[in-house]
Every structure is written in structure tokens, then in C-alpha cells.
Amino acid sequence: MDAKLPTFILALLLTAVPQSKAICTPQAEGTRIPFPFQGGAWRVHVSPNGKWVAAINCRGFMPGGVPIIGGGITADLKSGKVLYSFPFDAKAAVPGKGDLTDIAFSRDSKYLVTVEHDLKSFTLWNAATGKKIRSVIAYEEWIEACRFSPDGKHLATLGCGKRTPSAADGEKAQTKMELVKIWEVETWDLKKVYDHTTTGMGLAYNHDGTLIAYSSGGEVVVWNLKDDTKTVLKGKPVVSASALCFSPKSNLLANASSMQLELWDVDTGMLIRTWPSREFKVDFSPDGNLIAIPRPDGSEVLKVQGDKFDKVPRDVSTGMGAFTVDGKSVVWCGWDYLVVRPLKK
């Protein structure tokens, strides 16, 4: 199939697209915000200032079934209006290529960052307007995840780079390596690189910025940024983490995969409990007492102690959820919409 897309699609993909006419729809289960890319949202994040929600998917389709690679939206949480969308860069507009794999707001809500897997880059946007600021090619192979530090001064990224093997490595030396990179936000200079040799997708800062966790194959590694030491959580997760999240007090670490959600004690490195899970997102409530997870038969909000708190029907949510800043609602991903669903009293 010819990879060249029609001119009108390429023009659409060049910049963020205002969507001021898109409005929310009140529903019995919550307020729905339209998501214009078919296939459902892959990641969802609420801005720290509580004003916006951003969501992306890996790939979607234009009207008429014309395939494009992933895109996303930023919407106003109060009004439900979609402020702008950010389809992927036109130069990578090849069906099945260039997935968007992660998204993050800076802690001051000034910036929004998207991760472009096959372009090996991340892109910085003005979070309020959707104006593209710059893109940074960060890896030789691909990039998977990003997170801002709590003070907003650094951006951590997770991807795959290359290394030069030594003579001791032998003929079958591995030349590809997973790398966690720490970037200076103002200059975008590379400050630090942490490496490991197995595949991972999860990445998280704790809430004072002293720890960073990332998945490494069947392990979860917690790196202390103050003394530059790492700890591998005891026991062995079922599969590599697709998403990691520290609790607000940084004493717990949630590890989400396509098979189950695991809750770990950060101080002891011991596994506390597990829940069946389906997708690649986990989020703690602002007070740390609740956790939102997707399930095969519908998403749920659970008490950290293990009790069920709120069941979300399958026809309301097909995947990931993120708590609002006030902790009163969860934004859930649906097939072609987001649902802002208040928690039950």
C-alpha cells in the first residue's frame, strides 16, 4: 500500500488542531468528552492545575476509514470542550508506524509532552494552546515513556539506545540497551543516563523527586537519585510493568501490566498484594487511599487496603483512568470518548 497520505491529511497532521466546537455530553454515568481517534484512548492524564485532561491513542482512522498513526486531545475538564488535538507528525504518517506511547504534563501545567515511539523522539507543546514548541530525538531505536520531575526541572524518558560492546562481550554481544535519560527542561541538555538490558515500559518519579522507578524485564528497579544507588524490588513481577505509579506519600509503588496490578512496599521492597488487571495505566487518588485500575469486565476504583470501592460498567470504560486533582472524580477512557465520572459518596 502506498504510504503517502492525501494532502488534506498531511496538512492536518502538521500542527495541533483547534477543536472548539467539540463539546461534552452529560450522561447518567458521568460527562462524556469526545475522543476523535478511533480505537480508544491509550493513556490519559489530568493536568496538575486541575484544568485540563489529555489523552492519546496509538493509532486511529480518519473519517472514511483512512488509517493514520496515533493522535490525542486536550480538553477543558470544566466545560468538556476539546481545546485542541495533536495528530502525529506528517513525516511519519505511515500506517502502523509512529505510535504515540505516552503523555505527561509538567508540574506547573505549562508544558505537555508526547512520546513518539518510532520517531525516537518526544515533543514539547504549550499545554494551554497546543502550540508545538520543539521536538527532541532522544534514542537510536525507540522511545516508550516520559515523566516530569516534581520540581519541573527535569524530564525522564525511557527508551532503547545502542552501546559499543567491549572485547569481553564476545561475538554475540548485545548492542541494544534500554536507557532511562534525565533531561534539563530549560536547555534540553542530557544530564544523566541509567541503563539496563531488558525491555520495560513503566517509568515514575516519587513525589519529592528523590526516587525514580522503571521496569526492567521481569524486575522493577527503584533508583535513589540522591546517592545514585538502585534497589530491585524483591520477588519477581509476573511480567514487565507497563505503568508505574508512586503513592502520594511515596511509601507504595503500583506496577500495572496486562495481567495484574501489583502493590509494593517501597521501604521493604516486598510485594503487598495483587489484583487482576487488563491494561497499562494505574493511578492513586490524591489522598493515597484509592487506586484506579482497568479490569477485563469493567474498570474499578479500589481501596488501597484491598476492598472494592466503585465498579465502572464495561460500557462506560474500556480502559485507563486518572483521578481529578480534587479526588472527587475519575476520568476514564472509552471507545470514542472520555468519561468524567464522579466517585460515589
Higher-pLDDT residue of 243, 20: 243
Place of cell 505510535: 99
Q: Which residue has the higher pLDDT, 135 or 236?
A: 135
Region 66-80: mean pLDDT is 79
What DSSP letter does each residue of 250-291 carry, written as one string? SSEEEEE-SSEEEEEETTT--EEEEEE--SS--EE-TTSSEE
CA–CA separation, 285 and 51 (whole Å):
17
How long is the chain?
Answer: 345
How far is it, in rounded angstroms, from Cα 276 to Cα 272? 14
Give 112 or 176, the one with higher predicted confidence.
Answer: 112
CB 286 within 8 A of CB 248: yes
Distances (CA, A) of 195 to 157, 178, 275: 12, 6, 30
Residue 25: per-residue pLDDT: 54
Instruction: Tell me how far apart the alpha carbons of residues 326 and 261 are, in angstroms, rounded to a whole number.
Output: 24
Pairwise CA distance, residues 234 & 189, whole Å: 34
pLDDT in tens, 282-316: 889 999 988 887 766 667 787 887 666 676 665 55
Q: Which three cell numbers stand for residue 4?
A: 503517502
pLDDT value, residue 93: 43
